[in-house]
């Protein structure tokens, strides 16, 4: 079985939720003096909307012709909700499920605590569709179904983008927002742990769906962790990560990995009893350089979202970081702050929380910690709240620096 790329599976969401978004025609792109945004996910759309609202001429290039399911736990933290609201995205009207508490399960123990902030969950397909629609409404020229193959700087300080059909376009300012996918010439480092991530939707048995309502459950097992939570439409998202060497032990098969998780964490077996899988197979990705924070960049190239920083998934903070980095990059650009300075300041602002999240992730992978953690949380549930708060990326630093400029 190959896990080289995200895979597309049949849709589980309500087809009526497809937004009638239009794209501009696919003529050659005249891009001098425009801002080019590469990647139309969370970070790319957020930056595009903000720049267009400031009157800038923006072209966004997204390789997928229409939004699709992505490997993501789909948890929206309080910070993410605030940023989305500011962009004009009302997640409640899109059907987002409210999440009020977090439950941690390992071996045969489980503990829960209320979340110290409001949260929700929404499928990425719905969220990305709404973001693209908002970008188009803001006046962004959206080129969909076109993939960036290479990005290079020409001698005249202009960035040149080569698309999959061989067409090239140029701009003095580029926002790199291709998420998990690296563009040639701008690769992030290898992922030494060789993580593999899966996402699957289930319709849970009635009693289990009721148990899961308003909760985000984190499950620990050797070689990784997984999360399950309700999303819109009365279904549940199960997303899990496992190190490649552990996956190899179960024959590199996702079915075996899922079975082993349930064996190691009976809480999950209970949740999935009688559940109906809604995809033929999970979507999967590899190469997740957890803990990565981009050190530097070149003039005119602002790196945002997962291209700027990749926080361990259990924090459920990646979308929030994507929105935050987009907002900061836009503010830096509007304030004429050079991209290398922006990237360095962003790195310092994210570093402490990133290291803490990595430290916590290491703890989750430790067998002794796994054994005692739920017990400790039962006697001191405040730990869970404190951890949830500390592993959120503090956003004040960079924002404060740019608040005046925006």
Q: Which residues bind ligand FAD (CB under 6 A)?
A: 38-44, 61-64, 70-75, 80, 147-148, 177-181, 183, 197, 239, 241, 288, 305-306, 313, 316-320, 322
Q: Which is nearer to ligand FAD, 88 or 372 (CB)?
A: 88
Q: Which is nearer to ligand FAD, 64 or 108 (CB)?
A: 64
Q: Which is nearer to ligand FAD, 46 or 275 (CB)?
A: 46
Q: How far is the CB of 284 from ligand FAD (least distance, A)?
A: 10
Which 8-state DSSP code applies to residue 177? -
Q: Which is nearer to ligand FAD, 55 or 388 (CB)?
A: 388
Q: Which residues contact 104 (CB under 8 A, 6 or more apart)?
A: 110, 111, 112, 217, 218, 219, 220, 373, 374, 377, 384
Q: How far is the CB of 99 from ligand FAD (least distance, A)?
A: 10
Q: How far is the CB of 119 from ligand FAD (least distance, A)?
A: 9
Closest among 234, 283, 241, 274 to 68, alpha carbons compared: 283
Q: Which is nearer to ligand FAD, 146 or 370 (CB)?
A: 146
CB contact at 8 A, 369 and 299: no
Q: And the tokens for 139? A: 């006046």
Q: How far is the CB of 89 from ligand FAD (least distance, A)?
A: 14
Q: How far is the CB of 379 from ligand FAD (least distance, A)?
A: 27
Closest among 402, 386, 243 to 326, alpha carbons compared: 402
Q: Which residue is nearest to ligand FAD (CB)?
A: 41
Q: Which is nearer to ligand FAD, 76 or 106 (CB)?
A: 76
What gap in Å lies between CA 326 and CA 49, rounded to an integer? 10
Q: How far is the CB of 54 from ligand FAD (least distance, A)?
A: 20
Q: Which is nearer to ligand FAD, 78 or 372 (CB)?
A: 78
Closest among 361, 305, 56 to 182, alpha carbons compared: 305
Closest among 92, 41, 98, 48 to 70, alpha carbons compared: 41
Q: Which residues contact 364 (CB under 8 A, 6 or more apart)?
A: 220, 225, 314, 370, 373
Token look-up 């960036």 returns 148
Q: How far is the CB of 314 from ligand FAD (least distance, A)?
A: 8
């Amino acid at each position: 079985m190959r896990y080289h790329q995200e895979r597309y599976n049949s849709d589980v969401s309500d087809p009526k939720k497809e937004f009638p978004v239009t794209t501009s025609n696919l003529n050659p792109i005249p891009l001098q003096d425009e801002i080019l945004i590469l990647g139309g996910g969370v970070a790319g759309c957020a930056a595009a909307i903000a720049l267009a609202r400031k009157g800038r001429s923006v072209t966004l290039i997204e390789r997928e012709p229409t939004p699709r399911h992505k490997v993501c736990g789909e948890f929206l933290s309080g910070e993410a909700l605030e940023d989305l609201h500011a962009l004009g995205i009302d997640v409640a009207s899109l059907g987002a499920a409210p999440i009020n508490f977090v439950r941690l399960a390992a071996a045969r123990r489980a503990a829960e605590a209320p979340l110290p902030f409001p949260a929700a969950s929404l499928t990425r397909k719905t969220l990305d569709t709404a973001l693209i629609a908002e970008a188009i409404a803001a006046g962004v020229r959206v080129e969909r179904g076109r993939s960036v193959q290479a990005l290079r700087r020409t001698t005249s300080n202009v960035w040149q983008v080569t698309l999959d059909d061989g067409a090239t376009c140029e701009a003095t300012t580029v926002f790199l927002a291709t998420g998990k996918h690296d563009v040639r010439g701008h690769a992030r480092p290898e992922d030494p742990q060789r993580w593999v991530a899966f996402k699957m939707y289930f319709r849970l048995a009635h009693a289990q769906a009721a148990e899961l309502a308003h909760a985000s459950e984190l499950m620990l097992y050797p070689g990784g962790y997984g999360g399950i939570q309700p999303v819109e439409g009365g279904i549940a998202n199960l997303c899990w990560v496992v190190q490649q060497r552990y996956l190899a032990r179960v024959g590199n098969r996702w079915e075996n990995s899922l079975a082993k998780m349930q064996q190691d964490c009976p809480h999950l077996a209970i949740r999935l009893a009688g559940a109906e899988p809604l995809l033929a197979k999970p979507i999967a990705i590899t190469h997740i350089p957890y803990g990565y924070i981009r050190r530097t960049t070149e003039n005119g190239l602002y790196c945002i979202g997962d291209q700027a920083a990749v926080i361990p998934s259990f924090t459920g903070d990646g979308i929030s970081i994507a929105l935050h980095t987009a907002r900061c990059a836009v503010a830096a650009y509007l304030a004429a702050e050079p991209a290398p300075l922006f990237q360095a300041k962003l790195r310092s602002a994210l570093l402490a929380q990133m290291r803490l999240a990595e430290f916590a992730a290491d703890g989750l992978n430790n067998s002794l910690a796994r054994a005692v953690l739920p017990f400790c949380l039962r006697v001191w549930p405040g730990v869970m709240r404190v951890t949830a708060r500390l592993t959120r990326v503090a956003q004040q630093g960079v924002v404060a620096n740019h608040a005046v400029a925006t």
